[in-house]
């Protein structure tokens, strides 16, 4: 989403591009400094616009912050919809969605910071946004459809909700970004170390799929292990 923090070069003003530049700069400013600490004049300097122009496009600092939240959620959901999970078998679809969440949050730490900031404000701005509500309804509907397919096929347990599944699959990818510095300080191990990446990615996939698998699937897996002489304890 954001490639750099330097000011955008002067150009003949294209309204849509100007709005895009302001949103990109504001995303950086709000993610780094929070809603209270962010400065509109700093955003103007990054884009070589003016505070007056920013207010013309977004109305106020809070309006700009809400637009940043909407664009951040929108970017993630647009990428998510390109996965094509509706055409995949249920287990593969869930694996792909979990991997996507892990990869996206790692590539866009500003998203995690913005969500953390909005939680500090008790979702006051998200409550005002029908856009964000609609955007996030899509992922729940997608998960519901995958769960229903998996339940019909007998590979997923039947007592799982889409919202609960979403919380499970996003929690660890979010936590390793949001708590990176405290974890690295306390345990002397950076959770974003390249040496840990593959292990962490597979860990969350295994946790989600292990939770989802139906009793019948679990019994089949134990039977396969027993047939191979594996440990089924």
Q: What is the CATH number of the domain that holds 136?
A: 1.10.357.10
**Shared-domain flag, residues 195 and 93:** yes
**Shared-domain flag, residues 112 and 192:** yes
SS3 content of the chain, % helix, strand, coil (to 5): 75, 0, 25
User: For tokens 């979702």, what's the residue?
Assistant: 123
pLDDT mean across residues, the chain: 92
pTM: 0.85
**Shared-domain flag, residues 166 and 77:** yes
Residue 21, CA distances (Å) to 4, 5, 72, 83 in order? 11, 11, 14, 27
Mind listing the pLDDT tens digit for each residue in 71-103?
A: 999 999 999 999 999 999 999 999 999 999 999
Domain contains 221: yes
Count how many domains the chain has.
2
Rounded CA-CA distance 104/106 in Å is: 5
Please spell the DSSP secondary structure of 5-20, one letter per residue. Answer: -SPPPP-PPPHHHHHH
Domain contains 206: yes
Structure tokens at 71: 């664009």
Mind listing the pLDDT tens digit for each residue in 181-219?
A: 999 999 999 999 999 999 999 999 999 999 999 766 556
**Shared-domain flag, residues 100 and 195:** yes
User: For tokens 């637009």, what's the residue?
Assistant: 67
């Amino acid at each position: 989403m954001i490639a750099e923090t330097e000011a955008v070069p002067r150009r003949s003003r294209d309204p849509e591009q100007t709005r895009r530049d302001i949103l990109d700069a504001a995303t950086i400013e709000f993610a780094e400094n929070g809603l209270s600490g962010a400065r509109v004049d700093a955003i103007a300097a990054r884009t070589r616009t003016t505070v007056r122009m920013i207010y013309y496009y977004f109305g106020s600092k809070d309006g700009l912050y809400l637009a940043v939240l909407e664009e951040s959620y929108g970017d993630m959901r647009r990428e998510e919809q390109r996965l094509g999970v509706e055409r995949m078998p249920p287990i593969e679809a869930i694996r792909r969605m979990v991997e996507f969440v892990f990869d996206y949050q790692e590539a866009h730490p500003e998203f995690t910071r913005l969500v953390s900031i909005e939680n500090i404000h008790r979702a006051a701005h998200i409550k005002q946004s029908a856009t964000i509500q609609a955007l996030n309804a899509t992922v729940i509907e997608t998960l519901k459809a995958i769960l229903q397919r998996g339940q019909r096929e007998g590979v997923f347990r039947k007592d799982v909700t889409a919202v609960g599944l979403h919380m499970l699959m996003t929690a660890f990818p979010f936590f390793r970004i949001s708590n990176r510095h405290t974890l690295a300080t306390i345990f002397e191990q950076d959770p974003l170390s390249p040496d840990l990446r593959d292990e962490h990615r597979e860990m969350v996939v295994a946790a989600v799929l292990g939770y989802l698998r139906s009793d019948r699937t679990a019994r089949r897996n134990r039977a396969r292990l027993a047939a191979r002489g594996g440990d089924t304890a």
